């Protein structure tokens, strides 16, 4: 059994990026505001090749964007949208006219747009990230695969109820995240731990594609034959991306290229393990129910079976 702090970030608020971008959007011409992002991510921006131009391109925000109810996550989604360029023409055609934000808006409570910035960020993080990814893919599944049971004290309903009622200034003071949690534990932990800055773990994604690493299954998954068989991606575009990643010196390639290639590989693995397996082909297909804030409905056929009739 293991005790974990997850999901203290989603509840006590660690959305410093959104706060800085909101601050920047109200003064878009300020030369100092973009540099606040370097304080947030020193482990990313210590590369000389990724200086102020990267900050301006990736994180820049205009005053008009501040009214977007999804403002806190828009910069992440914008980066993800770039990955659609690697889909095959058939799949891009299937997604034409579909905006996932419209589907998301139907899940959210009616009062969502009127809440403060940090509260909206927390709701989105909990809906999209917490249960399906953080607690499942990175938590319970990994732990139970090694016979470890996880215990999440921050998921106690009383803690959640209290956290949701906190005003923004108790969630974050300046750029100090988890402000109230740090105050509550200041006499329980050594000062060096209670006051230290966040430094998340980072998966060594680029090492998977380097020439020195064993990449036999990577080459197989990214081969033209494999990509044509699954039909999700454009083999020529993926091949050019893979070649660029392999030829770029370690530590100089941007996050987008690495994560785009990892997305392709992950999709191909899932396809082989499940969709292309004989056991899945013989299983009866089910249409899931969606339950969001007490409103239950059936997913429409168009929503659930996007592109299942691929060539």
- Could you report the per-residue pLDDT of 100-128, keeping only the tens digit for each? 888 888 888 888 888 888 888 888 888 88
Cis check for the bond before 7: say yes or no (omega within 30 of 0): yes
Query: Per-residue b/e over 181-192, b at no fewer than 16 CB within 10 Å?
Result: bbeeeeeeeeee
Quick one: 8 and 140 in the same domain? yes
Quick one: 70 and 213 in the same domain? no
H or E segment at 158?
A: helix 157-164
**What does the pLDDT read at residue 238?**
94
Quick one: 289 and 174 in the same domain? no
**What does the pLDDT read at residue 253?**
67
Q: Are 65 and 71 in contact (CB under 8 A)?
A: yes
**What does the pLDDT read at residue 294?**
45
Mean pLDDT computed over 168-186:
81
Confidence of residue 185 (pLDDT cuts 50, 70, 90): confident
Question: Final residue of a domain: which of 150, 171, 194?
Answer: 194
**What does the pLDDT read at residue 309?**
47
**What does the pLDDT read at residue 211?**
59
**What does the pLDDT read at residue 290?**
53
State the SS3 of 184-224.
Answer: HCCCCCCHHHHCCCCCCCCCCCHHHHCCCCCCHHHHHHCCH
User: Beta strands 2-3 and 150-151: pairing type?
Assistant: parallel
**What does the pLDDT read at residue 189?**
85
Question: Final residue of a domain: which of 150, 172, 194?
Answer: 194
Quick one: 19 and 84 in the same domain? yes
Quick one: 82 and 170 in the same domain? yes
**What does the pLDDT read at residue 307?**
44
Quick one: 169 and 213 in the same domain? no
Residue 107 domain-assigned (yes or no) = yes
Quick one: 188 and 210 in the same domain? no
Confidence of residue 264 (pLDDT cuts 50, 70, 90): very high
Quick one: 39 and 183 in the same domain? yes
Question: Final residue of a domain: which of 194, 228, 248?
Answer: 194
Q: Is the pLDDT of residue 89 over 90?
A: yes
**What does the pLDDT read at residue 308?**
45
Q: Are 74 and 65 in contact (CB under 8 A)?
A: yes
> Which pTM does this prediction carry?
0.72
Confidence of residue 250 (pLDDT cuts 50, 70, 90): low
Residue 72 domain-assigned (yes or no) = yes
Residue 116 domain-assigned (yes or no) = yes
Could you tell me how many residues make up the chain?
311
Quick one: 51 and 126 in the same domain? yes
Q: Is the pLDDT of residue 145 over 50?
A: yes
Structurally, how many domains does the chain consist of? Answer: 2
Q: Is the sign of the CA dihedral 121, 127, 128, 134 positive or negative?
A: positive
Residue 88 domain-assigned (yes or no) = yes
Quick one: 232 and 273 in the same domain? yes
Lowest mean pLDDT among 61-70, 169-178, 246-255: 246-255
**What does the pLDDT read at residue 237?**
95
Angle, helices 117-125 vs 71-81, to 10°: value is 50
Q: Is the pLDDT of residue 268 over 90?
A: yes
Residue 106 domain-assigned (yes or no) = yes
Residue 310 domain-assigned (yes or no) = no
Quick one: 151 and 10 in the same domain? yes
**What does the pLDDT read at residue 305?**
47
Residue 201 domain-assigned (yes or no) = no
**What does the pLDDT read at residue 68?**
87
Residue 35 domain-assigned (yes or no) = yes
- Could you report the per-residue pLDDT of 20-60, keeping only the tens digit for each? 888 888 877 777 776 777 777 666 556 555 555 566 666 77
- Could you report the per-residue pLDDT of 286-310, keeping only the tens digit for each? 665 555 544 444 445 544 444 444 4
Mean pLDDT computed over 77-81:
80
CA angle 168, 201, 238 (to 5 degrees): 105
Q: Are 290 and 297 in contact (CB under 8 A)?
A: yes
**What does the pLDDT read at residue 289?**
57
Quick one: 87 and 163 in the same domain? yes
Give the range of the structural domain holding residue 300, as residue numbers without chain letter.
Answer: 206-304
Q: Are 3 and 9 in contact (CB under 8 A)?
A: no
**What does the pLDDT read at residue 239?**
94
Q: Is the pLDDT of residue 71 over 80?
A: yes
More confident residue, 28 or 238: 238
Confidence of residue 232 (pLDDT cuts 50, 70, 90): very high
More confident residue, 266 or 38: 266
Q: Is the pLDDT of residue 97 over 90?
A: no
């Amino acid at each position: 059994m293991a005790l974990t702090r997850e999901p203290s970030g989603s509840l006590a608020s660690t959305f410093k990026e959104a706060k800085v971008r909101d601050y920047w959007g109200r003064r878009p011409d300020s030369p100092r505001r973009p540099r606040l992002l370097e304080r947030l991510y020193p482990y990313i921006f210590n590369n000389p090749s990724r200086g102020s131009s990267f900050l301006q391109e990736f994180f820049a925000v205009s005053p008009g964007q501040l009214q977007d109810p999804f403002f806190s996550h828009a910069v992440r989604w914008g980066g993800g949208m770039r990955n659609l360029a690697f889909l095959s023409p058939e799949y891009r055609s299937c997604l034409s006219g579909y905006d996932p934000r419209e589907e998301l808006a139907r899940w959210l409570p009616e009062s969502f747009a009127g809440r403060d910035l940090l509260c909206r960020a927390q709701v989105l993080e909990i809906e999209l990230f917490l249960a399906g990814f953080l607690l499942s893919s990175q938590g319970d599944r990994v732990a139970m695969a090694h016979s470890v049971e996880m215990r999440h004290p921050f998921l106690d309903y009383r803690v959640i109820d209290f956290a949701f009622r906190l005003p923004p200034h108790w969630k974050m003071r300046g750029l100090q995240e988890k402000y109230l949690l740090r105050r509550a534990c200041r006499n329980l932990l050594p000062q060096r731990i209670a006051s230290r800055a966040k430094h998340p773990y980072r998966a060594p994604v680029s090492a998977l594609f380097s020439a020195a690493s064993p990449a036999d299954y990577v080459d197989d998954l990214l081969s033209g034959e494999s990509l044509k068989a699954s039909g999700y991606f454009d083999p020529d575009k993926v091949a050019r991306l893979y070649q660029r990643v392999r030829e770029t010196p370690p530590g100089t390639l941007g996050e987008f290229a690495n994560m785009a290639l990892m997305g392709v590989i992950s999709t191909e693995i899932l396809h082989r393990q499940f969709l292309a397996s004989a056991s899945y082909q013989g299983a009866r297909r089910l249409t899931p129910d969606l339950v969001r804030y007490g409103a239950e409905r059936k997913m429409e056929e168009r929503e659930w079976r996007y592109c299942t009739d691929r060539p």
